[in-house]
Chain A
Amino acid sequence: GNSVTQMEGPVTLSEEAFLTINCTYTATGYPSLFWYVQYPGEGLQLLLKATKADDKGSNKGFEATYRKETTSFHLEKGSVQVSDSAVYFCALTRQGGSEKLVFGKGTKLTVNP
């Protein structure tokens, strides 16, 4: 079946540090891949997505590249801010298949000033 594995954290960084949150997936066919972010006390916001191999999603300084050869979609940001503190979820859905979003367990990021 389809599954997503992401580093669970928590991850604690200082402001302006480099961020990587690893995400790997198992899926049949050609999934679409997503990163969602959940700020404290809020719902999920779509951060970025990629729908085919070698696509790079980017938003608000965050980037992730769809790597089919390594089945990965790692989230990166060059310089994190305190306002980036949140829980980040990697997720997939399979094109033409079930509409169920398959989530990783989430990674809590805390950025200290």
Chain B
Amino acid sequence: DTEVTQTPKHLVMGMTNKKSLKCEQHMGHRAMYWYKQKAKKPPELMFVYSYEKLSINESVPSRFSPECPNSSLLNLHLHALQPEDSALYLCASSLLRGTDTQYFGPGTRLTVL
């Protein structure tokens, strides 16, 4: 099974709200990723976690705060977002950091009003 799950599927929030996105995998993968995808563009890497530790932050604004509470779970905490942050947020996982195949979840469609 190569399933990555994400909740919620859709999220609408105001610029003063705080919300969180959740990602889960039970494949025993030790690397997890957050991507942002704007319409008609490929995904852009935001963060990489390896063994529950943040290993890459692609210069993402601090209003996005990732968290990896355990090896199966990855969260993305959102605060004071801007309308231009509206996008599809994708989570992915791979067996280990630096190994080849990343498996993606279905994404959370975020709209910031």
A interface residues, Cβ below 8 angstroms from B: 32, 34, 36, 41-46, 49, 51, 89, 91, 93, 95-101, 103-106
B interface residues, Cβ below 8 angstroms from A: 2, 6, 31, 33, 40-43, 45, 48, 56, 88, 90, 92, 94, 97-107, 109
Considering the complex, give the chain B residue whose CB is closest to the CB of A50: B100
Given A89-B42, A101-B45, A105-B41: A42 in contact with B101 (beta carbons within 8 A) = no
- Other A-B pairs beyond A46-B103, A49-B101, A99-B97, 18, CB < 8 Å: A32-B100, A34-B100, A34-B101, A42-B107, A43-B106, A44-B104, A45-B104, A46-B102, A49-B100, A51-B100, A95-B98, A98-B98, A99-B94, A104-B42, A105-B41, A106-B40, A106-B41, A106-B42
Asked if B103 and A42 sit within 8 Å, CB to CB, the answer is: no
**Nearest 5 interchain pairs by C-beta:** A103-B42, A32-B100, A44-B104, A43-B106, A43-B107
Residues of A contacting B103 in the complex (Cβ-Cβ under 8 angstroms)? 46
- From the candidates A93, A103, A105, name the one contacting B100 in the complex (CB within 8 A): A93
Separation in Å of the A67 CB from the closest CB of chain B?
Answer: 18
Asked if B104 and A100 sit within 8 Å, CB to CB, the answer is: no
Given A43-B105, A101-B45: A96 in contact with B98 (beta carbons within 8 A) = yes
